[in-house]
Amino acid sequence: MVSTRAYRGVPADERRELRRSALIETVLDCLRDDGLGGVSVRSVCARSRLTPRYFYENFDDLDQLLVAAVDSVVDEVASASLAAMAAAGDETATQVRAAIDAGYGVVVTDPRKANALLVAAAGHGPLRERRHRVVTDYADLIIDNLPALNALGLSERRRARATALFLMGGSAEVIEAALSGRLRMSRARLVDHLTTMWLGALGAGLGGTG
């Protein structure tokens, strides 16, 4: 039943991975053009020039494909932000700006990813739960990598988590507005503004009501 030998030069598992990638890539297009409602097994298959058999070869469910697509975008954004943050200096302000700029760079280069991450992931059930988990994990990850935050106690850390959630949601809203054209700002100004928001909220959330 399962493919084992090569076909047209490429081995079986590589072919399989190629089709899987094609499906993930295609679902981003479907999401951009027709929204969440335009995503179906048939539409994704037709657009990727694959047949339903290869869909079910890689995913049990349509939600599984959507989750995989969102996950791939999340991984890309997170790794870009973390790498930039690590490459930045020791100052918190510089690190925050580098992380925001890198993350924004990913989605501004390929708006489909921003669409999948900020729009589609918010509305659909299983995808929303995934988004919740990702946002929480990402928030914790930010806290851990921010010298000003990772030395907090437990109760303070809970408040820091709320702060991180706030920063994530606020950034998403601003970035979505910028990418959709509703908010006209240069990339530098946008990143500066977001950095200011982050530092302001962080400073207020720690020193203000400490």
Partner DNA sequence: CGAAATTGACAACGACTGTTATCACACTAT
Partner DNA sequence: ATAGTGTGATAACAGTCGTTGTCAATTTCG
Q: Which residues of this protein are in contact with DNA, per CB under 7 A?
A: 1-9, 12, 15, 40-43, 49-54, 56, 61-62
Closest distance between a second copy and the C-beta of residue 136, in Å? 7
**What DSSP designation does 83 have?**
H
Min. distance of Cβ 4 from a second copy in angstroms?
A: 38
Cα separation, 7 vs 15, in Å, equals: 8
Give the x/- contact pattern for a second copy in 171-210, rule: CB under 8 A: xxxx--x--x-xxxx----x-xxx-xx-xxxxxxx--xx-
3-state secondary structure of 10: strand
144 contact, one of a second copy, DNA, none, CB 5-8 Å limit per kind: none
Other Cβ atoms within 10 Å of 204 Cβ, number:
12
Q: Binding partner of residue 128 among DNA, a second copy, none, CB under 5 to 8 Å per kind?
A: a second copy
Radius of gyration of the chain (CA): 20
- Which CB atom, from 20 or from 161, has the smaller least distance to a second copy? 161
- Which residues are bridge partners to 7 per DSSP? 10
Q: Tell me the C-alpha distance between 167 and 146, whole Å.
A: 14
